Structure 1
Amino acid sequence: MGMMTVQTYLYLDGIPADAPGRVDQPSFSFDPQGIWRFSFDDGWYAVEAAALELHRMFARVIFKGLPYNELLASTPAFIATLGHNSEAAGAKSDLEDLLGLADRIPELHRFLYLYDCQRLVSAIQECTKEIIQIQGEFYRTLNLESFFHPPMKHEDGTRYSTSPVVTKLFAFLSFLFIRMHSLLDYTVKVALEAEKLPTNFNNYPKMSSLNAQYGDRKRLGLNKESGTLFEDCEFLVTVETLRNHIIHNGLLDDMPKGYEEIKDGVATEKYLLMPDITDGRFDRCRNRNLFYGREDKLNLRLPFLVTEFLGKQEATLRLISEDLRHRHGL
C-alpha cells in the first residue's frame, strides 16, 4: 500500500497545520485538480457559470432568427481559432483568404464576429483562473517557505527579512492586482460589444471595443450600476490605485519585507504590510505616499478582496447577459 498523504492547511497568518484545527479561521487546502482552494466560497464557480451564460447569449443574439445549430454543424472548426489560438497554425494571409470564401461558407462573418466576442469572455474566464491560482501560490509560499535561508532559530520578537522568497511574495501580489485591473478592461470591452452589436454582416464587422479600456466605461449604458465592476466605489478605486502604482511608480514597499513574530524561537505569525490607504488612494504627503502607520496586514485581507472582486465580476457578466436578452427580445 502507498503512503497516505497528509493534507496541509494554509492559514492567512502564514502558519500551516496538518489538520483544520482552527475551525473559525479561513484557510486554503489542496484540491486534486492542482490548485489551493479557499475554505470559503470565493466566487470562482459563479463567475464561470455567468461567463458560460454570456457565451450562449452572444450566440443567441448574433444568430437570432437563424438556425444556429445547423449552421454550426457545417462551419469549419478552425474559424473559431484562426488568429486567436495556437491550435490554429494559420497566418494572417490564411484569414484573408478565408474572407474571400464568404459566399461559400454560410454566415461566415457572423461566426467570425461571434467568436471574437466569445474570445473576450474566455479571456475573463482565464484571467480569473490566473488570479485564483496565484492567490493559492501566494499562501503556499507564505506558509511553507522560510523567509530566511538557511532556516534557523531566531531571537524572540518581531523580525523582518528581505530574501528571494519575499521577492516572490511581492511579485505574486503585483500580478494579482495587475490582473484584477485586466479584468476591468476586459469586462468593459465585453459590455461595449454587447451594447453595440452590429446588425449588418455583409462584411466582417470591426469590433467596437478594440482600443477600449476601463476608463471607457463612461460610454456604457450600464455605467455606475451598483454591485458591478462599473460602479463608483472605494473598493474599485483601490484596485486602480494599486495597479497604477505598481505599473507606473514602483513597488508596494521601497524595500519589500516579510515580517515574522517569533516566540520561543519559532514563527507564530508571518505577514506583509499594505501601505495606508484612505478612500481608495494612498495617503500622501508631498513626494511620499507609502506610509504604514496602520500596520495593515495584507495577507489577512487578500482572499476577501479577491472574493469581493469576483462577486462584482459575476454580477457584471449576468447584467450584460440580461441587458442583451432585454435589448433583443429574447
Structure 2
Amino acid sequence: MIGRKGVEPIGPDSPVLQLNGVPTRFADGLAGDCFLQTSDGSWRPLEDDGLYAVEAECVALYDDLAASIFGGLGIYRKLLPHVPPFLSQAGLNSEAPIRRDAFETALVKLAAFPELNRFLYLYDCQVLVSAIQECTKEVSQLTGEFYRILNLEPFFTPGIPVEDSIRWSTSPTVTMLFSTLGFLFIRMHSLLDYLAKLACESESIRKDFKTYPRLASSNFMFGDRKKLKKLAREKVVGTLFETCDEVTEVELIRNLLIHDGLLDDMPKGYEVIEDGIVIERFVLMPDRRDGKFERFKNRHRFYGGEDKINLRLTALVRGFQTRQVGTLRAVRSLFAQR
C-alpha cells in the first residue's frame, strides 16, 4: 500500500490484486493474471502487458527518424552536442517557458546554425514517438489503478451488515472506478491516432529544409489509415491498422463515452456476498453483437450477457499492446527500406 512514508516492501500479507475483485495475500502464491505493487507505487501485472516491448521499439524509432531526416546518423551526432536545448523543448514541453514571439525571434538569430530546420522538424517528429511512449505508460498504469480500486476500495459504507446476495452500489469509489475504466479506453484510442500520425509522417519524411516544414501528419487521424500508401495491406497484418477485435472494441467504447453517454446510466459496482463475505466484485459492459451495441429503438445498453469487463480487461490490453508493437515494427520497416 502507498502511505506518506512511501511503499511498503512486499511481504507475506501484501495484497495481490485479482481479476475477480477479491485480493489475495502474497503468501498464498501467485498465478495467472494478477497485479503486484512496485516500489514506485504503481500496480504492475504479473503477466507481461507489452509496456517494455513498446518502449524498445520507440527508442529505436528516435534513431530511425534522425537517420532518415539527416541522411545518416553521422552528421546528426556531430552537430547534436551544439544544438541549443530550447530547440527540442520550446513549444513542446514545459521545460522551456518561452512565449511564441520570443521563440520566433530566437530562430531568426539562429538562422546560420547548421541544419536548423532539420533539427526542428526532427524534434517535431520525435514528439509523436514520445506521445506514444507516455500514452502507453498511462494505459499500463490506468489498468493497474482500475484493479486497485476494484480490489481494495470499499464500494459501500464499511461495517454495515448485509445479507447474502448480489449487491450493487453507486458511490464515489464506483464513480472513480468507472472514470478510470473510461479514460483507459480513451487513452487507447489516443494511441490509435498517434500511431496513424507516426505512420503517415514516416511515409512522407520531408526532404526540403529551406524553411521549417510543417508535419505532413498534422491533420491525419486513425480514421484516415486507409490513405497510407507504403504500408501495403500485407504489412498491416498483426498491427492495429488491421481490422481486429481490439480496435473494434476500443473505438466502440470510446465513441460511446465521448459522443453518446456513459457505460451505464447509473454506474454500478457489483458484489457477490456469501456467508457475509464478498467473494466477487465486477463491472458490467453493455451487450454487443457484430462490433456494435445491441439496440432497440433508443435503447442501446442491455446487460443480459453479463459481460464482466474486469475478467477480460487484461487480455484486451495485452492484445492491444501486442498489436501496437507490430504496428511500430511495421513503421520501422519503412526506414529499413531507405
User: Which TM-score applies when normalising by structure 1?
Assistant: 0.95
Give the match for residue 203 of structure 1.
211
Give the match for residue 230 of structure 1.
241
CA contact (8 A) 1:134 1:176 kept: yes
Structure 1: how far apart are the matches of 2:159 and 2:133?
39
CA contact (8 A) 1:154 1:266 kept: no
Unpaired runs of at least 5, structure 1: none
Matched, 1:40 2:47: yes
Structure 2: how far apart are the matches of 1:294 and 1:139?
22
Aligned with 2:294 (options 265, 269, 283):
283
In the TM superposition, what are the counterparts of 1:10-159 in structure 2 within 5 Å? 10-19=17-26, 21=28, 23-65=30-72, 67-159=75-167
In the TM superposition, what are the counterparts of 1:182-221 in structure 2 within 5 Å? 182-221=190-229
Aligned with 1:312 (options 297, 300, 323):
323
Aligned with 1:301 (options 302, 307, 312):
312
Structure 1 SS opposite 2:52: helix
Write the letter of the residue equivalent to 1:149: T
Structure 2: how far apart are the matches of 1:103 and 1:150?
66
Aligned with 1:267 (options 259, 278, 282):
278
Structure 2: how far apart are the matches of 1:75 and 1:64?
18
Cα shift at 1:25: 3.3
Structure 2 SS opposite 1:170: helix
CA distance change for structure 1 residues 74 and 141 in 2, over 3 Å: closer, same or farther?
same
CA distance change for structure 1 residues 269 and 223 in 2, over 3 Å: closer, same or farther?
farther
Give the match for residue 168 of structure 1.
176
CA contact (8 A) 1:153 1:266 kept: no
CA contact (8 A) 1:217 1:223 kept: no
Cα shift at 1:279: 2.3
CA contact (8 A) 2:9 2:39 kept: no
Q: Percent identity?
A: 50
Structure 1: how far apart are the matches of 2:88 and 2:263?
41
Give the match for residue 5 of structure 2.
none
Structure 1: how far apart are the matches of 2:31 and 2:110?
61
Cα shift at 1:277: 1.4
CA contact (8 A) 1:177 1:243 kept: yes
Give the match for residue 321 of structure 1.
332
Structure 2: how far apart are the matches of 1:133 and 1:174?
13
Give the match for residue 3 of structure 2.
none
Aligned pair count reads: 325
Please give the per-residue CA displacement for 1:281-308, whole angstroms capped at 9, x wherever unaligned.
Answer: 1111211111111111100111111111
User: Which TM-score applies when normalising by structure 2?
Assistant: 0.92
CA contact (8 A) 1:9 1:20 kept: no
Cα shift at 1:233: 2.1
Give the match for residue 243 of structure 1.
254
CA contact (8 A) 1:147 1:163 kept: yes
Structure 2: how far apart are the matches of 1:319 and 1:34?
34
Write the letter of the residue equivalent to 1:108: L
CA contact (8 A) 1:102 1:109 kept: no
Write the letter of the residue equivalent to 1:251: L
Structure 2: how far apart are the matches of 1:51 and 1:25?
28
Structure 2: how far apart are the matches of 1:134 and 1:24?
21
Cα shift at 1:235: 2.5
CA distance change for structure 1 residues 219 and 98 in 2, over 3 Å: closer, same or farther?
farther
Write the letter of the residue equivalent to 1:164: P
CA contact (8 A) 2:33 2:314 kept: no
Write the letter of the residue equivalent to 2:18: Y
Structure 2 SS opposite 1:270: strand
CA distance change for structure 1 residues 218 and 102 in 2, over 3 Å: closer, same or farther?
farther
Structure 2: how far apart are the matches of 1:136 and 1:116?
31
CA contact (8 A) 1:262 1:269 kept: yes
CA contact (8 A) 1:276 1:282 kept: yes
Please give the per-residue CA displacement for 1:67-88, whole angstroms capped at 9, x wherever unaligned.
Answer: 1111111111111001101000
Cα shift at 1:40: 0.4
Unpaired runs of at least 5, structure 2: 1-7
